[in-house]
C-alpha cells in the first residue's frame, strides 16, 4: 500500500502561502536542543516548498504544556536551529494564532520562513473534547490556524495518530491539504511492511508493558510468521504460563489476556517466542547484584533483561527473516548492565538488514537504543513516530493522514 493522498509534489506551490505541520518535538534542556533528528527529518519538505517559491509557516508542538504558556516548552530554540541548518533567516512568531501572527504570516515573501510558537500553549489544540461546546472550541482554533496559509502540508508523522487542531482539524478550513515527504516515506515503508511483507515476517516486541501494545500484538499475530517478546511485558506472559516471576514487572489484570494471546498465536501457527533465561537483579539499579536465571525468577528479585540463551534464539530467528518490525527494548537498556540483550538484537537486526531484510524500527525507546548501538545507518527505516507507527501497524486510520486530499 502506498500513500493514496496527494503530496507536495502534486500541487502548484509557486506564490502560495504554505502552512506546514512539522514534528519539532525535540528534547530541549535549558534552551539547548539535545537531539535535532526530527528537525533534520523535516528538511527535505521545507527546502522543497521554499525552492518552489512559496512562503512557509511551520506549526508544531513541543512536550506537554497542557494548554498553558510555559517557557521551557518554547519552540524558539527550534527556529534558531533551523536557521543554522538552512543557512538563512527563520522568523519566529510568539504565538500560533491571532491577528498579529496572521499579519506576520502574510508579510512573508516567497522563499521566506517562520516558525510559530507551540500549538499546545492553547488547550484547544489537544483537548479531549467530550461536549459539543469543546468540539466547537477545537474547530474554532483550527479555523484560526488555517488563516496562516492557503495550502496545508502535514509532515508530522509522529502526531498523525492524533486528531488535533494542527494535525487534522485544520484540513476542514483549508481547501488544499497534502502530505510532505517524511509523511509519505513513513506511510510507504510501514504500508509495504504490513501489506505485502517478504517472508519470513517477524516482529520483535518489547518495552515496559503489554497494555500499550495489546492491539498491535493481536494485529501482528494475523500477519507475522514469528513474534519475539522481550522487555517488561515478557513477565506477564511468563506468569500466564505459571512461572514465578518474583518482583518483575507484571500487569496482573492482563494475565488472562496474555493467555488468550498465547492461545491465538498457537491456533494461527505463529511462532511466539518468550525468553528462556533472564538477568535478575536484587534492585532496580545499574549497580544491583545480578544473576542469570531461567524463567522462574527468585523471590525478591526482578528480571531487568533477557539472558544470553534467549538472545541466541532470537538472533537465529532474526537472521532468517526477510521483514522485521521492532518496537520496544528487550530490557532496561538505559542502565548499561541491562542493555546487553537490546544491543545484541540491534546487531542481529543490522546483520539481517545487511543480508537484504527490510527492517523497520518504531517507538522512541527502540529508536534511541538503535542510535546508542551506532547501527542506525544499517536499518531500512527508523520511524519518527512511536505511537503513530504502532497505530498504523494495528491497521487503524491515522486522522492526520485521513484528513488530507485524496489522490
Query: Which of 17, 70, 364, 378 is flagged as catalytic?
Result: 364
Q: Point out which residues pair with 328 in neighbouring strands.
A: none
Question: Which conformational region is residue 337 in: left (phi greater than 0), alpha (psi within -120 to 50 degrees), or beta?
Answer: alpha
Q: Under the criterion CB under 6 A, does residue 363 sit at the interface with ligand AMP? A: yes
CB atoms closer than 10 angstroms to residue 158? 28
Query: Which of 70, 209, 347, 396 is flagged as catalytic?
Result: 209
Please identify which residue in the block is written with the cell numbers 493522514: 401
Closest-CB residue for ligand AMP? 207
- 340 annotated active-site: no
CA 16/CA 37 separation, integer angstroms: 28
Q: Under the criterion CB under 6 A, does residue 362 sit at the interface with ligand AMP? A: no
Q: Which three cell numbers stand for residue 258?
A: 496474555
CA 160/CA 176 separation, integer angstroms: 17
Where does this chain touch ligand AMP (CB under 6 A) — which range of 115-123, 153-161, 166-174, 207-215? 207-215
- 209 annotated active-site: yes
- 38 annotated active-site: yes
Query: Which of 5, 16, 38, 239 is flagged as catalytic?
Result: 38
Q: Under the criterion CB under 6 A, does residue 249 sit at the interface with ligand AMP? A: yes
Binder among 77, 158, 180, 207 for ligand AMP (CB under 6 A) = 207
Q: Contacts by 71-77 with C-beta closer than 8 Å and gap 24+?
A: 72/28, 73/28, 73/118, 73/120, 73/121, 74/117, 74/118, 75/24, 75/115, 75/116, 75/117, 75/118, 76/115, 76/117, 77/28, 77/31, 77/32, 77/33
Segment 255-314, which members bind ligand AMP (CB under 6 A)?
303-304
Q: In the chain, what is the greatest distance between 2 CA atoms, to the nearest angstrom?
A: 69
The interaxial angle of helices 364-373 and 386-393, nearest 10 deg, is 110
Where does this chain touch ligand AMP (CB under 6 A) — which range of 39-47, 79-87, 256-264, 328-336? 328-336
The smaller minimum CB distance to ligand AMP, of residues 126 and 365, is found at 365
CA 180/CA 160 separation, integer angstroms: 12
Please identify which residue in the block is written with the cell numbers 528537525: 39
Closest CB 307 distance from ligand AMP, rounded Å: 12
Where does this chain touch ligand AMP (CB under 6 A) — which range of 23-31, 202-210, 218-226, 352-360? 202-210
- 364 annotated active-site: yes
Closest CB 303 distance from ligand AMP, rounded Å: 5
Residues at the contact surface with ligand AMP, assessed by CB under 6 A: 207-209, 212, 231-232, 249, 303-304, 328-329, 331-332, 334, 363, 365
Could you give the residue numbers annotated as active site? 38, 209, 364, 387
Amino acid at each position: 500500500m502506498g500513500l493514496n493522498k496527494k503530496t507536495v509534489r502534486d500541487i502548484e506551490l509557486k506564490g502560495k502561502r504554505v502552512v506546514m505541520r512539522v514534528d519539532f518535538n525535540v528534547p530541549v534542556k535549558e534552551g539547548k536542543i539535545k537531539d535535532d533528528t526530527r528537525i533534520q527529518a523535516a528538511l527535505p519538505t521545507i527546502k522543497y516548498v521554499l525552492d518552489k517559491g512559496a512562503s512557509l509557516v511551520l506549526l508544531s508542538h513541543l512536550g506537554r504544556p497542557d494548554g498553558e504558556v510555559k517557557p521551557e516548552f518554547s519552540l524558539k530554540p527550534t527556529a534558531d536551529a533551523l536557521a543554522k541548518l538552512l543557512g538563512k533567516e527563520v522568523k519566529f512568531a510568539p504565538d500560533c494564532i491571532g491577528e498579529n501572527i496572521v499579519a506576520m504570516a502574510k508579510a512573508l515573501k516567497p522563499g521566506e520562513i517562520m516558525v510559530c510558537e507551540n500549538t499546545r500553549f492553547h488547550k484547544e489544540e489537544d483537548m479531549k473534547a467530550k461536549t459539543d461546546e469543546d468540539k466547537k472550541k477545537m474547530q474554532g482554533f483550527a479555523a484560526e490556524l488555517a488563516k496562516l496559509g492557503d495550502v496545508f502540508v502535514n509532515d508530522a508523522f509522529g502526531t498523525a495518530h492524533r486528531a488535533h487542531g494542527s494535525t487534522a482539524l485544520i484540513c476542514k478550513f483549508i481547501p488544499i491539504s497534502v502530505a510532505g515527504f517524511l509523511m509519505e516515506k513513513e506511510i510507504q515503508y510501514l504500508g509495504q511492511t504490513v501489506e505485502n511483507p517478504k517472508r519470513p515476517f517477524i516482529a520483535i516486541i518489547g518495552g515496559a508493558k503489554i497494555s500499550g501494545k495489546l492491539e498491535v500484538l493481536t494485529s501482528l499475530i494475523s500477519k507475522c510468521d514469528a513474534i519475539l517478546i522481550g522487555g517488561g511485558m515478557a513477565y506477564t506472559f511468563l506468569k500466564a504460563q505459571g512461572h514465578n516471576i518474583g518482583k518483575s514487572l507484571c500487569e496482573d489484570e492482563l494475565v488472562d489476556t496474555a493467555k488468550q494471546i498465547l492461545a491465538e498465536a498457537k491456533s494461527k501457527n505463529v511462532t511466539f517466542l518468550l525468553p528462556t533465561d533472564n538477568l535478575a537483579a536484587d534492585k532496580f539499579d545499574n549497580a544491583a547484584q545480578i544473576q542469570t536465571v531461567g524463567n522462574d525468577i527468585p523471590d525478591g528479585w526482578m528480571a531487568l533483561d533477557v539472558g544470553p540463551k534467549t538472545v541466541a534464539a532470537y538472533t537465529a530467528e532474526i537472521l532468517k527473516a526477510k521483514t522485521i518490525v521492532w518496537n520496544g527494548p528487550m530490557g532496561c537498556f538505559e542502565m548499561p548492565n541491562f542493555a546487553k540483550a537490546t544491543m545484541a538484537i540491534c546487531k542481529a537486526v543490522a546483520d539481517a538488514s545487511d543480508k537484504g531484510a527490510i527492517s523497520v524500527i518504531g517507538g522512541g525507546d527502540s529508536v534511541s537504543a538503535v542510535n546508542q548501538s551506532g547501527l542506525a545507518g544499517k536499518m531500512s527505516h527508523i520511524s519518527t513516530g512511536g505511537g503513530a507507527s504502532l497505530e498504523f501497524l494495528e491497521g487503524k486510520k491515522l486522522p492526520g493522514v485521513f484528513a488530507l486530499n485524496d489522490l
